[in-house]
Structure 1
Amino acid sequence: MAASPGRRPTSRTRSRLKSANPVQGASVKGESETSRRHVYGRTRGKALKPRQANLMETLFPGVSISFGEGTLDPRSLFGEVKEVWLEVGFGGGEHLAHQAETHPDTGIMGCEPFLNGVAKLVSEIDLRGLSNVRILNDDARFLLERLAPVSLDRVFILYPDPWPKKRHNKRRFVNPETLGFLAKALKPGGELRFASDIPDYIAWTLAHVSRFNREEGETFFWTAESPVDWRTPYEGWPGTRYEAKAIREGRTPCYLSFRRI
């Protein structure tokens, strides 16, 4: 069952680019081969530490998202919240945990198929005493297709797997299908944030958004007015371990923001 509205997790805490236009040279081929019924890559890594394993048994069931065949209103997962946000593929959960702690009046859902990443976020929920986080241990597309229309205020897609080999590009999360899900779920004025350090994926994303707008009508407005806008981290950005690694290795992060029209 989905987490009960307003229920506090049961745990021991219950007593907290470069200056050129990055769209240049992008390709929009291959999306017809996309399959949202298959999770690519590993979903499990090293064995969980004893504390993590215990929290996955005791705390995780209270914050996990499950749904039936009908539409899911994400507000039903929380108590009284001002907004509902979603992070797609939250990795180790450091960004999501930071946002949840900084915005306690916002309900935040996170999707991550990798069990070890989920366990790390569950540990952060326990350590920080967070009551406004809900988790789907699966591909975000399973959730997006069930969400009620205009139910999200913000979506984060941060450093997604770039699938750099051309034959694997079709596995990228950004494609016409997922853009359609996001267009339906985001409220007018809602925000889609996409960050990456891979120029080809940045260009791919801008090209797909542009194509979606042409084919489906103006839906996503890219808010950048100058290169400094996509070179500058988002307000309140905590950084991530992956981002720090990319910078150490000489790659330049890009921060795109789109407003739902």
Structure 2
Amino acid sequence: MSDQHPSGAPWRNFYGRFKGKGLRKSQEAYLDEDLAQLSPGAVGWEENPDRAPLDLPTLFGGRDIWLEIGFGGGEHLVHQAQQNPGVGIIGAEPYINGVAMLLGKIRTAQVDNLAIHPGDARDLFDVLPDASISRAFLLYPDPWPKKRHHRRRFVTPEHLEPLARVLKPGAIFRVATDIPDYVRQTLQQLPRHGFDWLAEAPDDWRRPWDDWISTRYEQKALREDRTPHYLTFRRV
């Protein structure tokens, strides 16, 4: 078996879901009609066998570029795009149902500063140029609560090393989670990969960011009496 995906990306184990229950007709239409033009494929993603870096100036016209890793249903991604029209934002999400939900929100909001990678963020890291991202978000990631599964979490060297590479010096990385052990692992791992935690007082992690919009995952955490944590790091 080849050690590469047909797209040119290396084969990697993936432990989440790519698809859930059936899509609505409208969502299937969003995928058929909108996804291609909103994905980096519009500038050569799928036909990039040598994994050459993405041409981000062509994609976003020289704007600062942000990245959301695992955007879920896309509420936060669209909110940030509306609030920051002068920024280009890439969202990475392998769960196709979430991608379809985002496409519907984009149609409603009529934002034009978003791109979508409908797949594993690690494959996106392969083709993002060094020091190209000004801000990144990891919001309510899969907690993988069993100890034997902690190596599947995003806050591990397999993900943090390429993330650190693509972030600009001084870039901001925000992490939101309601899982105390995920907080522990995040605070343990991020400094090892070139990040400073910016908290100076308890309110710095207890209170959401000023431009925050609560997501469906946060609302579920609050209903179940779990405490959100808002962690802000700077790429050294």
- Say yes or no: TM over 0.5: yes
2:138 maps to 1:157? yes
2:84 maps to 1:95? no
* CA RMSD between the two structures: 1.5
Deviates more, 1:176-185 or 1:114-123: 176-185
User: Does the CA contact (< 8 Å) of 2:139 and 2:176 recur in 1?
Assistant: yes
Q: Deviations over 1:235-254 (max 9, x none)?
A: 21011011011011110000
Q: Which runs of 5+ in 2 are unaligned?
A: 1-9
Amino acid at match of 1:74: L
2:103 maps to 1:122? yes
Counterpart of 1:52 in structure 2 is 27
Question: For 2:11 and 2:221, how far apart are their aligned partners in 1?
Answer: 28
Counterpart of 1:142 in structure 2 is 123
Query: Judging changes above 3 Å, is the alpha-carbon distance between structure 1 residues 144 and 249 closer, same or farther for their aligned structure 2 residues?
Result: same
Of 59, 68, 73, the residue aligned with 1:77 is 59
Question: For 2:17 and 2:103, how far apart are their aligned partners in 1?
Answer: 19
Counterpart of 2:192 in structure 1 is 211
Question: For 2:29 and 2:158, how far apart are their aligned partners in 1?
Answer: 37
Indicate the SS of the match to 1:59. helix
Question: For 1:70 and 1:90, how far apart are their aligned partners in 2?
Answer: 25
Query: Judging changes above 3 Å, is the alpha-carbon distance between structure 1 residues 79 and 56 closer, same or farther for their aligned structure 2 residues?
Result: same
User: Does the CA contact (< 8 Å) of 1:85 and 1:109 recur in 2?
Assistant: yes
Deviation at 1:94, TM superposition (A): 0.4
Amino acid at match of 2:68: E
Query: Judging changes above 3 Å, is the alpha-carbon distance between structure 1 residues 160 and 36 closer, same or farther for their aligned structure 2 residues?
Result: farther
Counterpart of 1:107 in structure 2 is 88
User: Does the CA contact (< 8 Å) of 1:112 and 1:139 recur in 2?
Assistant: yes
Amino acid at match of 1:44: K
Query: Judging changes above 3 Å, is the alpha-carbon distance between structure 1 residues 142 and 187 closer, same or farther for their aligned structure 2 residues?
Result: same
Question: For 2:168 and 2:62, how far apart are their aligned partners in 1?
Answer: 18
Counterpart of 2:197 in structure 1 is 222
User: Does the CA contact (< 8 Å) of 2:154 and 2:160 recur in 1?
Assistant: no
Counterpart of 1:191 in structure 2 is 172
Larger relative contact order (CA 8 Å, sep ≥ 6): 1
Amino acid at match of 1:76: T
Q: Which runs of 5+ in 1 are unaligned?
A: 1-34, 213-218
Question: For 1:76 and 1:39, how far apart are their aligned partners in 2?
Answer: 30
Give the TM-score of the pair, scaled to structure 1: 0.81
Deviation at 1:80, TM superposition (A): 4.6
User: Does the CA contact (< 8 Å) of 1:186 and 1:260 recur in 2?
Assistant: yes
Indicate the SS of the match to 1:149. coil
User: Does the CA contact (< 8 Å) of 1:80 and 1:105 recur in 2?
Assistant: no
Aligned length: 220
Question: For 1:90 and 1:138, how far apart are their aligned partners in 2?
Answer: 11
Counterpart of 1:43 in structure 2 is 18
Deviation at 1:177, TM superposition (A): 2.5
User: Does the CA contact (< 8 Å) of 2:40 and 2:54 recur in 1?
Assistant: no
Deviation at 1:174, TM superposition (A): 1.2
Indicate the SS of the match to 2:53. coil
Question: For 2:180 and 2:153, how far apart are their aligned partners in 1?
Answer: 14
Deviation at 1:36, TM superposition (A): 7.6
Query: Judging changes above 3 Å, is the alpha-carbon distance between structure 1 residues 189 and 73 closer, same or farther for their aligned structure 2 residues?
Result: farther
Deviation at 1:65, TM superposition (A): 2.2
Question: For 1:43 and 1:146, how far apart are their aligned partners in 2?
Answer: 21
Question: For 1:101 and 1:242, how far apart are their aligned partners in 2?
Answer: 21
The sequence identity of aligned pairs, in percent, is 50
Amino acid at match of 1:138: G
Question: For 2:111 and 2:138, how far apart are their aligned partners in 1?
Answer: 21
User: Does the CA contact (< 8 Å) of 1:151 and 1:185 recur in 2?
Assistant: yes
